[in-house]
C-alpha cells in the first residue's frame, strides 16, 4: 500500500527531471549551433572583406602580361593568410595566375564553376558549394569576386580543415556532436563522418527543406534514436546540425530516479516504524478486551477491564464492563427463579403420585362392569345392523328404479324434441335449396348485365378514339388557319387530352368489368354445382335421422312401462323391511344406552388418570429443567477473585 505511491512519486520525479533535461539539452544544442554559425560568419566575412580589398588592386591586363607586381601581391596575400590553400585570378582571355605558383598547367579559368558564377553576378561576392582540390586533395570553399574592370575574376580557396577541427572540439552533453552539410548533402565538417561523404535519409530532406528546426530520428549508423537541431548559414547555405542521443538524457535523469527511490524507501521505513507504535497503542487495549471476553465465555462474570483513556477504545472498555455487569445481574435473577421452580416441582410430583393411585383403583372396577354390558350390546347391535342393511338395500333398489323411470321419461321427451328439431332442419334445408337456386339465377343475370356493360365500355372507348382523331384533324386545320385558328387549336388540344383521358378511364373500367365477370362466372359455377349438391346431400341425411328418431321413440316407450312395474314391487318390499328394522333397532338402542353409560364412566376415569399422569410427567420435566438450570447457573462465577 505504501510502496506503490513511493514508486509513483519516484517515477514522476524521473519523468519531470527527464523533461527538464530535455528542455535544457535542446537549449544547449541551439546555443552551440548558433554560436558555431556565428563563428563561420566571422570567418567568411573576414575573407570576403580581404577579397574585396584585393580585387581593387588588380587589373585584368596584368594577368595577360603575367605582371611581377601582381605575382608579388598574390604571394604576399597567401603568406599572410595561412588558412587559404591558394588564390586564382583569371580574365576573359583565359589568362590566369595562381599563388602559390604551381608552374605550368593546362588550366582555363573560364571553364570553372566559380568563374562562371562570378561573371554572371558582377560586383558581388559569390560562394559556391565546396569541393575537393585536385592539387592538394583538401576540401575547400571557393569565395569569388569580379575584378574592378569587369573583365576577370578572383577566387580564394578556403581550406575547411580548420572548421572541421573546430567542429570536433564542440561538445554536446557526453556523446553529442555537431556536423555541417552543404546544399548537396555532403559532409563539410564532422567528428564522426568522413569529409565529402554524402548523407541520405528522410531526415536530410527535412533539414534541407527548412531554415531551422528541432526533430527526432533514428541514426542510420548506430540505429539508436537521436534528437537534432539545425540552422542554415546565411553566407554559405551550410546546414549546421547539433545531435544528441535520447538515451543520454535518460541516463542523466536516472540518478534522480534512484535518489527518489532511496528517499521514498527511507520514508517508508520511518512510516512503518511510526505505524507500528500507533497500532500497538490501539491493539493492546483490544487484546485486554479479548482476554476478558474469553474469561466471560468461560463463566467468569466477575471480570472487569481497566479503563485508562476516554478515546474510542476507552469508551468500548467502559461499555464492555457495563454489559458484563448487566449479564451478571440477569444470571443471578435466573438462579433464584430456578431454585424456587425446583422446590415447587418436587411438591407437585408428590401430590400427583397419590391421586394417580386412587384413580387407577376406580378404573379397574368400572372396566369389569362395562365388559358385561358391552357383550349384550354387541349381540343386539348385530341383529339391528343386519335388518338395517337389508332395508337400505331394498330402499336403494326402489330409489334406483324410480330414477331409471324418471330418466326414461326424460329420454322420451328428449327424443320427441330431437325428432321435432330434425323436422325443422329438413324444412330449413328445403328453404336453403330454394334460396341457392334463386342466388344462382341472380348471378347468371349479373353475368349477362356485365357482358352488356363491357360492350358499352367498348363503344365508349371507340367514341374516345374517334374524338381524338377529330381533335387531331381540328388541330391540323387550326394550324393551316394560322393566327386566326390559334384559339381553336387550343380548344382542339384540350378536347384531345379529354379524349385520351376518357380512353384511359374506359380501359380501366373494361379491365375491372372483365375481372368482375370472371368472378361472377366462378360464383355461378360454385352455386350451381357444389352448393346445390351439398344441400341435397344434407336433405338426404336429415330424412335418415328423422326415421331413426322415430324408431328410438317407440323402443323407449316399451322400456319405461317395464321399469314402472319393477319400481312398484320394490316400494312394497321396502315398506315391510322398514317395520322389521324398527323393532330390532329399539332393542339394540336399549342395550347401546347401557353400554354407553358404562363407557362414559370408564372414559372419564381413564381421562382423569391420563391427566394425572401428564401432570406427573410435567412435574418431573419442570424438576429436570430446574436442575439443569441450576447446573448452568453454577457455571458462572459472581464473586470477584
pLDDT digits (tens, 9 = 90+) for 558-579: 756 765 665 676 567 566 656 6
pLDDT at 14 over 50: no
Distance CA 513, CA 446 (A): 11
User: What is the spatial distance between Cα 118 and Cα 143, in angstroms, rounded to a whole number?
Assistant: 9
What pLDDT score does 113 carry?
93
Cell of 504: 384511359
Query: How many CB atoms neighbour CB 561 within 10 A?
Result: 10
Per-residue cell: 427? 324444412
Window from 49-58, 247-256, 435-444, 493-502 with minimum mean pLDDT: 247-256
Task: Assess whether pLDDT exceeds 80 at residue 373.
Answer: no
230 pLDDT exceeds 90? yes
- Label residue 36 by pLDDT band (50, 70, 90): very high
CA-angle at 634, arms to 628 and 637, nearest 5°: 155
- Least trusted range by pLDDT, from 63-72, 74-83, 325-334: 325-334
- 506-563 pLDDT, tens digit each: 677 777 767 877 776 776 677 666 656 766 776 676 677 667 667 756 766 775 676 5
Whether 162 shows a pLDDT value over 80: the answer reads yes
Question: Residue 484 — very low, low, confident or very high, per pLDDT cuts 50/70/90?
Answer: confident
What the block records as the C-alpha cell of 509 is: 373500367
Query: DSSP string of 455-517?
Result: HHHHHHHHHHHHHHHHHHHHHHHHHHHGGGGHHHHHHHHHHHHHHHHHHHHHHHHHHHHHHHH
Closest CA to 96 of 114, 80, 79, 81: 114
- pLDDT-wise least confident of 33-47, 230-244, 371-385: 371-385
Locate 536 and state its grid cell: 341435397
Domains in the chain, CATH or no CATH each = 3-256 (3.30.450.20), 329-449+523-632 (no CATH)
Instruction: Give pairs for 254-258: CB < 8 Å, separation 24+.
Output: 254/14, 256/13, 256/14, 256/17, 257/10, 257/11, 257/13, 257/14, 257/17
Instruction: Write down the pTM of the prediction.
Output: 0.42
Q: 259-293: per-residue pLDDT in tens?
A: 665 666 666 677 677 777 767 766 777 777 777 77
- Residue of higher predicted confidence among 446 and 257: 446
Contact 314, 308 (CB under 8 A): yes
Contact 241, 207 (CB under 8 A): yes
Q: Of 170, 169, 91, 164, nearest to 130 (Cα)?
A: 164
* Mean pLDDT in residue range 329-335: 71
Q: CA quadruple 144, 149, 150, 151: dihedral positive or negative?
A: negative
In the beta sheet, which residues pair with residue 130?
none
Sequence-distant (6+) residues with CB within 8 A of 587 are 380, 383, 384
Q: Please say if the pLDDT value at position 604 is more than 50.
A: yes
- The rounded percent of the chain whose pLDDT value lies above 70 is 60
pLDDT at 2 over 60: no
User: Which carries the bigger pLDDT value, residue 635 or residue 129?
Assistant: 129
CA neighbor of 225 nearest in space, from 250, 260, 189: 250
- Tell me the average pLDDT across 400-409: 65
> How much is the pLDDT for 232?
96
Q: Give which of 204, 202, 171, 169 is closest to 186, Cα–Cα.
A: 204
Model confidence at 381: pLDDT above 70: no
What's the rounded Cα separation, in Å, for the pair 428 and 422?
10
- Whether residue 171 is predicted with pLDDT greater than 80 in this model: the reply is yes
Tell me: pLDDT of 5 over 80. Answer: no
Give the angle 42-43-45 at the CA atoms, nearest 5°. 65
Going by pLDDT thresholds of 50, 70 and 90, the confidence category of residue 239 is very high
Q: Name, in order, each residue with C-beta under 8 angstroms of 131's C-beta and a sequence gap of 6 or more.
A: 139, 140, 142
Q: Ranked by mean pLDDT, which of 65-74, 335-344, 516-525, 614-623 comes out on top?
A: 65-74
pLDDT at 55: 94
Pairwise pLDDT comparison (230 vs 478), residue with the higher score: 230
How high is the mean pLDDT of the chain? 76
Dist. CA 38–CA 347, nearest whole Å: 126
- pLDDT winner (highest mean) among 106-110, 361-365, 540-544: 106-110
The length of the chain in residues reads 641
Q: Of 222, 169, 224, give the one whose Cα is nearest residue 191.
A: 169
Amino acid at each position: 500500500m505504501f510502496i506503490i505511491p513511493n514508486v509513483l512519486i519516484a517515477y514522476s520525479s524521473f519523468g519531470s527531471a527527464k523533461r527538464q533535461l530535455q528542455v535544457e539539452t535542446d537549449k544547449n544544442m541551439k546555443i552551440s549551433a548558433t554560436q558555431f554559425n556565428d563563428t563561420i560568419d566571422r570567418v567568411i566575412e573576414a575573407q570576403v572583406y580581404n577579397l574585396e580589398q584585393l580585387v581593387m588592386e588588380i587589373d585584368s591586363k596584368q594577368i595577360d602580361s603575367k605582371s611581377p607586381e601582381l605575382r608579388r601581391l598574390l604571394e604576399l596575400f597567401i603568406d599572410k593568410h595561412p588558412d587559404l590553400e591558394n588564390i586564382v585570378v583569371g580574365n576573359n582571355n583565359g589568362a590566369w595566375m595562381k599563388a602559390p605558383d604551381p608552374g605550368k598547367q593546362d588550366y582555363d579559368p573560364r571553364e570553372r564553376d566559380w568563374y562562371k558564377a562570378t561573371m554572371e553576378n558582377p560586383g558581388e561576392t559569390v560562394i559556391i558549394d565546396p569541393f575537393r582540390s585536385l592539387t592538394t586533395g583538401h576540401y575547400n570553399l571557393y569565395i569569388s569576386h569580379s575584378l574592378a574592370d569587369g573583365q576577370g575574376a578572383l577566387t580564394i580557396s578556403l581550406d575547411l580543415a580548420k572548421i572541421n577541427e573546430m567542429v570536433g572540439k564542440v561538445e554536446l552533453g557526453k556523446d553529442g556532436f555537431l556536423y555541417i552539410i552543404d546544399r548537396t548533402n555532403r559532409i563539410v565538417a564532422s567528428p564522426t563522418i568522413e569529409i565529402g561523404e554524402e548523407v541520405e535519409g528522410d531526415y536530410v530532406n527535412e533539414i534541407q527543406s527548412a531554415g531551422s528546426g528541432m526533430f527526432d530520428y533514428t541514426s542510420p549508423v548506430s540505429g539508436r534514436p537521436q534528437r537534432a537541431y539545425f540552422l542554415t548559414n546565411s553566407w554559405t547555405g551550410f546546414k549546421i546540425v547539433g545531435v544528441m542521443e535520447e538515451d543520454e538524457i535518460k541516463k542523466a535523469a536516472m540518478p534522480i530516479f534512484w535518489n527518489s527511490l532511496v528517499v521514498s524507501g527511507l520514508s517508508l521505513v520511518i512510516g512503518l516504524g511510526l505505524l507500528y507504535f500507533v497500532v500497538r497503542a490501539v491493539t493492546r487495549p483490544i487484546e485486554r478486551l479479548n482476554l476478558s471476553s474469553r474469561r466471560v465465555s468461560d463463566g467468569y462474570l466477575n471480570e472487569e477491564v481497566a479503563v485508562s483513556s476516554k478515546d474510542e477504545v476507552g469508551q468500548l472498555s467502559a461499555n464492555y464492563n457495563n454489559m458484563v455487569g448487566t449479564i451478571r445481574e440477569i444470571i443471578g435473577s435466573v438462579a433464584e427463579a430456578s431454585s424456587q421452580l425446583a422446590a415447587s416441582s418436587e411438591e407437585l410430583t408428590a401430590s400427583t403420585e397419590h391421586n394417580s393411585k386412587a384413580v387407577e383403583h376406580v378404573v379397574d372396577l368400572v372396566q369389569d362392569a362395562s365388559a358385561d354390558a358391552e357383550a349384550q350390546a354387541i349381540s343386539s347391535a348385530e341383529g339391528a345392523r343386519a335388518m338395517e342393511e337389508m332395508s337400505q338395500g331394498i330402499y336403494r333398489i326402489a330409489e334406483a328404479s324410480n330414477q331409471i323411470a324418471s330418466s326414461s321419461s326424460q329420454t322420451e321427451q328428449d327424443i320427441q324434441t330431437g325428432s321435432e328439431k330434425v323436422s325443422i332442419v329438413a324444412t330449413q334445408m328445403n328453404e336453403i335449396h330454394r334460396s341457392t337456386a334463386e342466388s344462382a339465377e341472380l348471378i347468371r343475370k349479373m353475368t349477362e348485365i356485365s357482358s352488356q356493360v363491357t360492350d358499352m365500355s367498348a363503344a365508349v372507348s371507340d367514341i374516345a378514339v374517334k374524338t381524338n382523331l377529330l381533335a387531331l384533324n381540328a388541330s391540323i386545320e387550326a394550324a393551316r388557319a394560322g393566327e386566326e385558328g390559334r384559339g381553336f387549336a387550343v380548344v382542339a388540344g384540350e378536347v384531345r387530352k379529354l379524349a385520351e383521358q376518357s380512353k384511359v378511364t374506359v380501359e380501366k373500367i373494361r379491365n375491372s368489368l372483365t375481372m368482375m365477370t370472371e368472378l361472377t362466372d366462378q360464383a355461378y359455377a360454385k352455386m350451381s354445382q357444389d352448393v346445390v349438391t351439398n344441400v341435397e346431400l344434407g336433405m338426404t341425411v336429415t330424412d335418415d335421422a328423422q326415421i331413426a328418431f322415430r324408431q328410438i321413440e317407440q323402443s323407449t316407450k316399451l322400456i319405461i312401462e317395464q321399469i314402472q312395474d319393477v319400481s312398484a314391487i320394490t316400494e312394497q318390499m321396502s315398506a315391510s323391511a322398514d317395520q322389521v328394522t324398527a323393532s330390532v333397532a329399539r332393542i339394540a338402542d336399549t342395550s347401546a344406552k347401557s353400554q354407553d353409560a358404562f363407557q362414559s364412566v370408564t372414559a372419564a376415569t381413564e381421562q382423569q388418570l391420563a391427566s394425572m399422569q401428564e401432570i406427573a410427567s410435567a412435574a418431573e420435566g419442570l424438576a429436570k429443567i430446574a436442575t439443569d438450570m441450576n447446573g448452568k447457573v453454577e457455571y458462572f462465577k459472581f464473586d470477584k477473585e
